Amino acid sequence: MFGKGNKKQKVDWFKNVSFTTAFKQGNSVTKCSAVVWGLGNLINKQIIKGAIMLAFELAFIAFMVTFGFGALGDMITLGTNVQTEVYNEAKGIFEYTKGDDSMLCLLYGVITLFIIAAAVLMLTVSVKSAYTVEEIKKRGEAIPSFKDDLLSLKNEKLHNLLLFPPIIGIVCFTIIPLVFMILIAFTNYDRNHQTPGNLFDWVGLANFKEIFSRSGKLASTFWFLAGR
């Protein structure tokens, strides 16, 4: 009944559905899939696919509760406890108490933000997947099994499979370090504010104002190097 062109058209239609369209036009199960990831798949007997999405949600919640919220708080303050030197009378030596590390506070905060972005992406996938199953049922067609989804990775979704590893590599080893270094420019990190002995703080655009005012050590160093 359907030719190759019609099959390709159906595939493209499901692929190009936006999150907004899926959420607005979807039924209550599709909307609830934004809260319980994979719900639409689980109800429609796509057990493995739905369970994988739900496992990602539970892992994300556990991460945020045990580490993520604390990392975001530390990113805002960049640490509050400074490393101090304390004399140990029993040993007759000076010991250092463990303080916060502003560099790690910033790094862990940036990583947490990217994990949150990945969670938002997974949320959209959950809703769009539920809406796709909903539309397939309305058309009276067979709902793809997990095996069908795996086979699609060898055919129409092969590009997704091949691009996934390099994209993850670019995000982890290029984009995250780049964002981290850009944010460093908005702090007072210098030789007098180095961890773990000292903490550094957010200073906003103060460094850029000093550079373009052509006054101070930072401006003289920057323009000297820029003119070479």
Tens digit of each residue's pLDDT (9 = 90 or more) over 6-22? 444 444 455 578 889 99
Alpha-carbon distance 35 to 22, whole Å? 14
pLDDT, mean of residues 164-185: 95
Domain carrying residue 205 = 185-228
Does residue 185 have a pLDDT over 80?
yes
Does residue 84 have a pLDDT over 80?
no
Q: Which two tokens stand for residue 9?
A: 């058209």
Question: Which of 83, 106, 107 minimizes the C-alpha distance to 96?
Answer: 83
Does residue 127 have a pLDDT over 80?
yes
pTM of the model: 0.83
User: With bands split at pLDDT 50, 70 and 90, how would you rate the model's confidence at 203?
Assistant: very high
| Exposed/middle/buried for residue 195 (C-beta within 10 Å: 0-12, 13-18, 19+) | buried
CB 222 within 8 A of CB 113: no
One domain, residues 40 and 141: yes
One domain, residues 167 and 196: no
**Based on the structure, what is the number of domains in the chain?**
2
- Please enumerate in sequence order all residues whose Cβ is within 8 A of that of 107, keeping only pairs 6 or more positions apart, or say none: 180
One domain, residues 111 and 219: no
One domain, residues 121 and 149: yes
The single-letter DSSP state of residue 156 is: T
CB 135 within 8 A of CB 95: no
Does residue 111 have a pLDDT over 60?
yes
Alpha-carbon distance 183 to 177, whole Å? 10
Does residue 136 have a pLDDT over 70?
yes
